[in-house]
Structure 1
Amino acid sequence: MTRPTTRVLAMLELLQAGGTHTVGELARRLGVDERTVRRYVTHLTDLDIPIRSVRGRYGGYRLAPGYRMPPLMLTDDEAVAVLLGLLTSRSTTAAHAADSATAKLRRVLPQRLTARLDALMNTAEFTTDPRPAVAVETAVLLTIAEATREHRPVAIGYTDRNGQRSARTVHPYGLVAHSGRWYLTGLDSNSADLRQFRLDRITEVTILSETFAPPIEFEPTAHLLSALATAGYQHEASIRVQGTLTQVRSLLPATIATVHEISTPPDTAPWVRVLIRAEQLDWIPPVLAGLDRPFIIEHPDALTDAVRALGRRLTAAATSDPKPTVVGVGGPSRRGSEHIR
């Protein structure tokens, strides 16, 4: 949208706040001269917006009494895109502005779409791990959000990561946006287990008529992060780390590791056990080095070898060789959270 158009719409919003606004006031608020304000008024009247000119000492412009803007003409996809942008802004310094804009958007949308967007706002949760977004069908997202809010089962068609297709009924407990993907957590009829489903892998969805009672105080985000960290992968590593549960947990994202208390003799430093599941081990040694705490690798032996290899590379890089040497130490290129069941 061009700047002049943006200013015209901004002036319309000022006028919709009510009362009479002088030309000087509008010019100051919009950052333009008074001649430009009068040109903007002409643009709005050409759009059949009833702006009245008030003469006299306290004159200016005002909207005709009783005038209201017509519903904002957005498709479902456009409305969801705008709303998701506003929802994610709540975690930034623009949170107040995002809430205000969300309220304005709701006021001008058709009631049919507003009700469905309310379901999305009331059921969606967001983590703080950013990643490029994976496209989800708007109809799928809104339908599942509606079912989650109303505690109604959904019949879905699903394609797993191996390309296997299935039909199942799910009791939706929560929706979570994480790492650029949307996840549904719910009770799966096929396995009778609590499972996570990626929405971009849902091919069809239908809300069923019955209702269910979700678990009390269920936390969808916490459950998803824990499930991602404990999913089955090629390697399972166990490491003992010196420190308390709180200290070590704060150093490791919940999506890559689970931390458990272990018993230690009285009057000794506390230790915890860290369990990590991953497709590859190359990113784990730098993570362990970054803990800056004593640790003991319980298994696998391949991880011990990888840590020793990293130590040798770091030692070589710290020698007094006058020629700079670029030493690769690996990185968290393949963390467990990149995969989903």
Structure 2
Amino acid sequence: MTTDTPGRILQLLSLLQTPREWPGGELAERLGVSRRTVRRDVDRLRELGYPVQATKGSDGGYRLVAGKAMPPLVLDDEEAVAIAVGLRAGAGHAVAGVDEASVRALAKLEQVLPARLRHRVSTLQAATTPLAGGDGASIAPETLTVMASTVAGRERLRFAYRAKDGSESRRLTEPYRLVSTGRRWYLVAYDLDREDWRTFRVDRVSEPAATGARFTPRELPEGSAAEYLRRSIRGQQETYAFTVRFAAPPEAVASRIPGWVGTPEADGAGGCVLRGESGDPVEWLAVRLAMVGCEFAVLAPDELGACVRDLGARMSRAGAAGAEVAPPG
């Protein structure tokens, strides 16, 4: 329970910035106060310029909506950093590659952004082109924000989906998590029509729409969305097992690689060993390993080891003083 009024109002504002409608009873329970206190705090937010919309009913509800002016936002540190990085890297439609914190922040901004500012953002996006794209498929920012909003608000999501073989279908899901692999975005969700969990490549999704129907999240078969995605990808394509030893502690390596690649384990000698499976080209994995930024050795497979050696040799030649590139042939 937050006893000081300013702290409680900030906590209330943070809750309301999650894109969903909050029943008055649930807000009162979260804040540890009465519904009457919640109503008074909402009035204070309105006096400060926050457009809080109330709905009538047995429990009543509150939602932060777009207003005439852009109000101040309450962002945590991760989100604030993500916005700064995302704005620098996302001059055009290069949204692929940002992390989950960026999507949360983008969803909050989309929720309260006035129409005139949305128009300016769309105009800027249409008038600019990124200097270089990533190696993953680009995704419309609106697609990610709609999905992020339904995940946060526990709201059923409907969309059109194009499978790998080109077949198209309509899906009604209970979205669980958005997961970024560094190259692509995936949605982990419960498919209501198929009565089972599924993973969806976001770049194959179109016409995403929140239905307004709330749901209670189901328990995921695996411990985390990243682990479920890893198992799903493994079952859909040919993969290869790899083992790599790093001359760095597990926590240092884990902070530099996507969670879906694997979890490094201490080797008892100050370093760590990373074991996993991948369906990506060995060239891509070799580059990811090099980006960890410490000494490492590929123990398996031989194909990955050969690729790392070839990459290292090319880098050495490229960095040599007076290096020249011989024409092909």
Q: Determine if the TM-score, normalized by the shorter chain, exceeds 0.5.
A: no
TM-score of the two chains, using structure 2 as the length reference: 0.44
Whose Rg is larger?
A: 1
